[in-house]
Structure 1
Amino acid sequence: MTSIFVRLTGISLTLGFVMVIWWLLAAATGPEYFATVNGLLTGWFAVIIWVLSIWALWYHSLGGIRHLIWDLGYGFDVKTADRMGYGVIAGSFVLTALSLICLGVL
């Protein structure tokens, strides 16, 4: 299940990427349009998407590291695979919280 979520988070990161590109294009377009887009991308719904994007980025990154370990031929026994899966899940939440603390959100 955790491997499927690695793929899903990779796909869902597209939404955050599109939001960043939209914000940058708005900044290049002009102050009025930028103010409109910036207002939309700093609203409560957008903040939820930003936080979920940060979590997805950490989850996807940690899942990628786990897959690299598997590519090296390690961690295939059930006990280790389970521990690594739980580590990816827990690590993604911890790193998201640390990121939000560093960004001043929490």
Structure 2
Amino acid sequence: MPNKTRPLSPHLQVYRPQITSILSITHRATGVVLAFAALLLAYWLASAAYGPEAFARAQGVLESWFGRLVLFGFTFSLFYHMCNGIRHLGWDMLWGFEMPKLRITGAIVVIASLSLTVLSWLMAYGHVGKL
């Protein structure tokens, strides 16, 4: 008779999250977020095809504080997914599996993603003339 008190797998109550697992989950989540970003881009392009009123409505939504927050999140998701994808390419070449390198490259991915997001927004607003 099997022991019923022993868990069958490491449940969330027992499992201690590690940086590698958090980065992996974030990579998957940003992939899902990018799918929604593609839908938003399709909506924005379709609104331009429907005419000036529809496009003005879409622009109004995207230019609101909430719309900009969503776009900022999409931008971060794009850069995070890209940077972590580059990290995965290193793994495909069998580089970076040692724990110190995993932690360092994970930190580099997060810092690079945040930096690229902020830099791209500053460049975009600087180019447009708004900040």
TM-score range relative to shorter protein? over 0.9
TM-score by length of 2: 0.77
What is the CA distance between 1:15 and its match in structure 2? 2.1
Residues paired across the two proteins, number:
106
* Greater per-residue helix proportion: 1
**Largest Rg, 1 or 2:** 2
CA deviations on 1:16-60 (whole Å, 9 max, x unpaired) are 221111111010011111111221121111100000110110000
* Structure 1 runs not aligned, ≥5 long: none
Identity, % of aligned positions: 37
- Runs of 4+ in structure 1 displaced over 4 angstroms? none
* Residue 70 of structure 1: aligned partner: 91
Q: Cα RMSD over matched residues?
A: 1.2
* Structure 2 runs not aligned, ≥5 long: 1-21
* Residue 113 of structure 2: aligned partner: 92
**Structure number with higher relative contact order (C-alpha < 8 Å, ≥ 6 residues apart):** 1
* Residue 33 of structure 1: aligned partner: 54
Matched-pair contact (CA < 8 Å) for 1:19–1:41: no
Distance 1:49 1:13 in 2: 11
* Residue 54 of structure 1: aligned partner: 75
Distance 1:53 1:33 in 2: 22
TM-score by length of 1: 0.94
Q: Quick one: which amino acid aligns to residue 13 of structure 1?
A: L
